[in-house]
Structures are given as C-alpha cells and as structure tokens.
Structure 1
Amino acid sequence: MRTLFSGEVQVDYGQVYVSSDDIHLLGDSFAGQRAGLCGGAVPGHLFLVTGMHTGCVPITVELHETEPPLGADVWEDIVEVSFRPVSDEVVLAEWGSGVYPLLLTETSYRVRFHCRGMDEARDAVRDVGEPVLDEYLLRFWPSPPAPDRVVKETSRTAAYWHEFAREQPPGPTSEEQAEDERRTREEKEHAELQQEMDAWGGRLPSDRLRDVRDKLRGFKGYPRLVGLDAALVHAIDATGPEDQRALARWAAHRACVAAGLSDIDWVARGLAELDRVEPFSPPLDDSRRLRDAVFSDARVPRSHDGTPGLPQAAALAALFDAAAVDPLKAALDALLAAAVTHDTEYPHLFAEVRRTFPATAIEADLPSSPLCYFEAAGPTRSSSRASPTRS
C-alpha cells in the first residue's frame, strides 16, 4: 500500500475532486449511478461530496495492489465506483485552485470512498485548527470496470446524495459515446481539410507540395506564391522535375532582367553557370563577397537612399533559389522572387510562364483584385527596379 496524499484540503460547496481532465458538472458526474457521494460517470473524473460545506477536511488517498479490507466498523458511509485516468497527470483538486498530484497510471481502478461525520459537519464551516467534524478515506486498487454500489449507508447526508444520484438520467451508452466521438473526429478532420484547401486556393495539395510547404521562401510584405496564383502553383507541381528545373532557371533570368542586373558581368556569369549546372564563381560563391559586390558595384541599380533595393535582392534570391536541390522548391521559390521583382506587374510574368511552359497553361484562379497584394507591401520600389521585359 502507498499513501498518495494525507492532509487537509479546502472544500467549497461540499465538493472536492480527483481529475485527470477538466472539472465536470455535478449531475453529469452521477449520471446513471445508484451510489451518491462519489460520482464516477465521467471518464477520468471523480466528484467527491463532503458533509462540510466550506472549510478544511482531512482526507487520505491510498493506492493498494489488491482489494483492501472494507473497514466497515470504523467508517459510517462507504461507496464504490470504477475509475480510469484519461491522462498521466491525475490530481486531487479543490473547488478553488489547489491541486495535489496523485501518482496513478492510465489503468482501470476500483475506488472505495469512506466517510464519517457527514451529518455532524453538514452545512458547517471549519477553519484550520478547529475540531474535526468529518473525515474521508479514498482507496484505489487495480480492477476491471464494474457497476457502482453502496457498500454501507448510515448518515442522512449519504441517504440524500444516494437519492440524488438515482434521480439523474443515465449518461450516454458506450455506443452513443463512440458515435459522438466519431462524429466529432470527422467534423475536426473535415474542418482541417477545408482549412488546408482554403490555404491552397480551394483544392488539396499533393504530398509533394505538403513536403515543401514549410521550406518555401517568403518575402516580407508579400503573400506566398499560392496566394498570388494558386492554379499556377498546382500546375507547376503537376509538371515533371525537368520542367520545374527549367522554369526555375527561366524565372531567375527574368528576375535579373527585371531588376536590371542581367548585363552585369558577374551576374551574367552566374546565370550561365546556373544553366550549365555548375557551382557559382566569385562573388556568388560567398555571401560576404556577394554583399561587398552588391554594395560596391555602381552598375547595381539603387533605391532613393543610394542602396540596392528589394528588386535586386529578390533577383539574386531567385538566382540562388533556382539552384536548389529540390526542383519543385527551386521553381516555386525562384518564381516568387521573380514576381517580387515585377512588383504589381507580376500577372504579366505569370502569363508569360504559361506561354513559355504550356504544361502550366491551365485556368488561372487570380484574386478578384490582384494588385491589392502589393498596395501595402512597404516602401516604393519603382525607383530601383528596371522596367520588366515582356514577350
């Protein structure tokens, strides 16, 4: 035998609980029972009734390996219920905020609740240190589920609560509970699917899109590519790796043209290396050298404050994105970066994608007002962006 708790707990309205879940209502806890005093109708929860209305009552909680003796000679009222925790965190909980951990595992227990002095304490208020009026013992031992029962009845208080329990309508049957759980699970799954469909433009993504979803690049102030043209994203996903790789390289070229970088020798060399699937040469092979080149090369277009702007950063991102190992990620990231370089004219870029890569030429699902995505995207970038070339 192990003592899990021994001491005084604060009760309010004659209630204290054992819970591995939330606290539940009185009627629900005794639904379908014949025994009052210990409500075990809600899985993972025991509703313990005391004679004391408000104040401190002594209670001991024990865990036994086998069924313990009744102790009917020293306890006035005894009831039994079955209990199974629904989590590995079980507590003896006061009506207010006090909780006391009980080391119980997620197995099936039989619970015996022993009470004495309930009539003497009925509706009483007791502070710590005042004479004890009622006290309680709660014993657990492993046992298969069984109906609740009244082991011993002596007090008028216990008789009242037994009558109360018998007046409660039975709770749902196991079949009804299973049906409710199934319906709840299906509703949750449906809501999750609908949420996923909404996030991908009204259709579920493929496993490949799910795999790259959290790996895709983003640009502050801009939606993801699926938010700009969901139909195009799904069409790119449906193409093969060779088309995706070709589209990624094409997007990098278009981005560098739009940002006014394509005629700079080290950028042009990088684009050629991308096309030949070769490692990048300096300064593209090192982030520090690249930063120095961007800020020191006067041929790199500047924004109003004299520094390279977002279009140039996006174009270089497209160059590196296009070289990614995963062809689908490469295509989607590079195309988004190219869209950023085209700013509000990105629909023309997407139209050019569909003409250049016929496999992506499906019905587009553009937003009703596509330019609204860019109206609040941050500082003006037109001063540092070369005019996009259209075919």
Structure 2
Amino acid sequence: MRTLFSGEVRVEYGQLHVCSDESHALERSFAGQRAGLCGGAVPGHLLLLTGTHTGRVPITIELHEAEPPLETDVWEDIVEVSFRPAADEVVLAEWESDWYPLPLAALSYRVRYCCRGMDGVRGAVHDAGEPPRDEYLLRFWPSPPSPDRVVEETSRTAAYWHAFAREQPRVPTSEEQAEAERQAREAKEKAELRQQRNAWGGRLPSDRLREVRNKLRKFQDHPKGIVGLDAALVHAIDAAGAEEQRALACWAAHRACAAAGLREIDWVARGLAELDLGKPFSPPLDDSRRLRNAVFADARVPRPHDGTPGLPQAAALAALSDAAAPDPLKAALDALLAAAVTYDTGYPHLFAEVRHAFPTTATEPKAEGIGPASSVTAR
C-alpha cells in the first residue's frame, strides 16, 4: 500500500476533484449512478462530496495492489465507483485553488470513498483553527470496470446524495453518442432533401439547375421565380438541349414584347432581330441607362394613366435582355418568367403555348427515385 496524499485540503460547496482533465458539473458526474458522494460517471474524473460546505477537511488517498478489507466499523458511509485516468497526470484538485499530484498509472481502478462525521458538519463553514469534525479516505486498487455501489449508508447526508444520484439520467456511451449523432445527421440530410424537393416542385433539381439557382430572376410578385409558377416546366426546359433553350429564350422575348405592345417599335424590333441572329444589341438596348432614357422619351411605349411605363413593358424589356444571357438555361428560364409577368394572370396560356411550340417540354423528364416521367399540362 502507498499513501499518495494525506493532509487537509480546502473545499468549497462541499466539493473536491480527482481529475486527469478539466472538472465537470455535479449532475454530469453522477449521471446514471446509484451511489452518491463519489461521482465517477465522467471518464477520467471523480467528484468527491464532503459534509463541510467551506473550509479545510482531512483526507487520505491510498493506492493498494489488491482490494483492501472493508472497514464498516470505522467509516459511516462507503461507496465504490470505477475510474481510469484520461491523461498522464492525475491530481487532487481543490475548488479553483491548489492541486496535489497523484501518481496513478493509466490503469482501470476500483475506487472506495469512505466518509465519517458528515451529518455533524452538513453545510457548515469550517473556520481556520477549528478542529475538523468530518474525515475522508479514498482508496484505489487495480480492477476491471464494474457498476458503482453503496457499500455502507449511515448518514442523512449520504442518503440525500444517493437519492440525488439516482435522479440523474445515464450518460450515453461513446457508441451510443456516435449512433445518436449519425441519426441526427441522417435526419438533417433527409430534411434538407425534403426542403429541396418542396422548393423544386417535388423533385430534386439537376446539377445545372443548382448552378443557376441563385442567378435566376425573381420579380417582386414572384419571389420563387418561375419554379413557383410551374416547376414541372422548369425541369423539362432543363432537360432540353442548349439549342432548344436558346430558341425558347428568343421565343419568350418575342411573346413578351408582343404582349406588352412593344414589338412594333423600331428599336425593339431591331433588338429582337439582333437577338434571333445572336448579335450584340445596338443602342439603346446596349446600355441600361440609355435604354431607360429611350423608354421614358418614346411616346410609343404604352404607359398607364400616371404617364410612366408600366410593369408589362418593364418585364418585356427584361425578357429581351434576359434572353441574350450567355447561359442558355438561365436565358430561357429568366426570359420565360419575364414573359409570364407581361401575361399577368394569363401566364398559364403562355406556358401552354411553350409546350405546344417546344414539344420536348410537354413531358417532365424522369427523376431518379421519384417515379416514371409524367405528362404535364398547363395549369
């Protein structure tokens, strides 16, 4: 037997720590235990409770080669727990004060905590110079892990802490914690997939749609963009080739300008022709400020009673500009949404025209894990 420590130590809140890592909360230290007084639920840590609330108490710590005999005639309260150091250095630590090294090897130990005099000083403050009235003994010996147990219970203080320990939920094992984290990740992933499917009309978007998602136009009254109007058509346009997407973009610009009463204005007609030929726009469509000035200066641009161009006209010019975007998929989707704005509540008729003019968009492409492709019609 070796005595690792013998002397008086200062306790506060009736607590001492034997630890090879940081100290832990009272509840966690006793989680899942039947025995109070010595909390061993946190690996590499023991929380020792004393009767004295604040002051100095005597404690002896011993290391034995084998289990020492019980001394129930000497000690009023005895509990046992298992302990294994979590680091090379183990210390007896006072509450935010001194600490004392305990030379313990990295083995699995059984720990027996013996107490007496706890009721006589329960919650008391031990002033300097007063003789101690409670005393403690902590014994270690090599032993495989086993459940904690109450060996001897005499004091009301011990009974209180045993009841407290039994109210604390068990700490999950590392395997249980890993499984819980895996399930949480899986649930999060499934929730994100559901959210994506809901946002894209009940199916996941392709990689191409993901690429352009944050670049698609959203008019004020259509915060979800064209996906919110007809998600099936969006997926069908995505599945079409770049050539057909570009043709659809030009078609949408023509429909928008016609619906807004702009197609016969010379510089708009010229812009539509340039769009069809894949040429850069000539003035005033080549510059946003120049275009704005032209719109306000040209009396041929339809406008409501306030004298300013209306939303249909603004949306139609946006469709013309959008249709020239370098990305054919973005051009098609943005131009079609702008055209839908010019049609206002009549946009389903526009979408029906799309499916008639571009038959490949009349059938939603098959989505993996969603089921067979389905024929779609305008709403």
Deviations 1:214-241 (A, max 9, x none): 1111100124111111110010011111
- 1:184 and 2:184 are equivalent in the alignment: yes
Per-residue deviation, 1:349? 0.2
Kindly tell me the number of residue pairs found equivalent between the two proteins. 289
Q: How does 1:1-391 map to 2 (within 5 A)?
A: 26=27, 30-31=31-32, 41=42, 112=91, 114-115=93-94, 136-137=97-98, 156=118, 160=158, 167=166, 170-222=170-222, 223-362=224-363, 363-364=375-376
Q: 286-295 or 167-176, which moves further after superposition?
A: 167-176
Could you say if the C-alpha distance between residues 243 and 180 of structure 1 is closer, same or farther in structure 2, counting changes exceeding 3 Å?
A: same
Could you say if the C-alpha distance between residues 344 and 265 of structure 1 is closer, same or farther in structure 2, counting changes exceeding 3 Å?
A: same
Per-residue deviation, 1:303? 1.7
Could you say if the C-alpha distance between residues 138 and 233 of structure 1 is closer, same or farther in structure 2, counting changes exceeding 3 Å?
A: farther
Could you say if the C-alpha distance between residues 166 and 112 of structure 1 is closer, same or farther in structure 2, counting changes exceeding 3 Å?
A: farther
Q: Structure 2: 5+ residue runs without aligned partners?
A: 1-11, 17-23, 63-81, 123-135, 137-156, 364-374
1:33–1:41 contact (8 Å) kept in structure 2: no
State how far apart, in whole Å, the 1-side matches of 2:170 and 2:180 are: 16
Per-residue deviation, 1:289? 0.8
The answer for the alignment partner of 1:92 in structure 2 is: none
State how far apart, in whole Å, the 2-side matches of 1:148 and 1:303 are: 88
1:32–1:165 contact (8 Å) kept in structure 2: no
State how far apart, in whole Å, the 1-side matches of 2:236 and 2:115 are: 77
State how far apart, in whole Å, the 2-side matches of 1:145 and 1:262 are: 85
Tell me the TM-score normalized by structure 1: 0.61
Counterpart secondary structure, 1:203:
coil
Identity of aligned residues (%): 58
Counterpart secondary structure, 2:263:
coil
Could you say if the C-alpha distance between residues 243 and 139 of structure 1 is closer, same or farther in structure 2, counting changes exceeding 3 Å?
A: farther
Q: Name the aligned partner's letter for residue 209 of structure 2.
A: L
Deviations 1:232-260 (A, max 9, x none): 00100111111111111111111111111
Per-residue deviation, 1:210? 1.1
Counterpart secondary structure, 1:278:
coil
Per-residue deviation, 1:162? 8.0
Per-residue deviation, 1:331? 0.8
Q: Name the aligned partner's letter for residue 204 of structure 1.
A: L
Counterpart secondary structure, 2:280:
coil
State how far apart, in whole Å, the 2-side matches of 1:246 and 1:166 are: 74
State how far apart, in whole Å, the 1-side matches of 2:48 and 2:377 are: 60
Structure 1 ranges of 4+ moved more than 6 A = 11-15, 37-40, 45-53, 79-83, 108-111, 143-149, 151-155
1:29–1:42 contact (8 Å) kept in structure 2: no
1:35–1:149 contact (8 Å) kept in structure 2: no
State how far apart, in whole Å, the 1-side matches of 2:208 and 2:274 are: 27
State how far apart, in whole Å, the 2-side matches of 1:207 and 1:165 are: 56
| Structure having the higher Rg | 2
Counterpart secondary structure, 2:264:
coil
State how far apart, in whole Å, the 1-side matches of 2:105 and 2:334 are: 58
Counterpart secondary structure, 2:326:
coil
Per-residue deviation, 1:364? 2.9
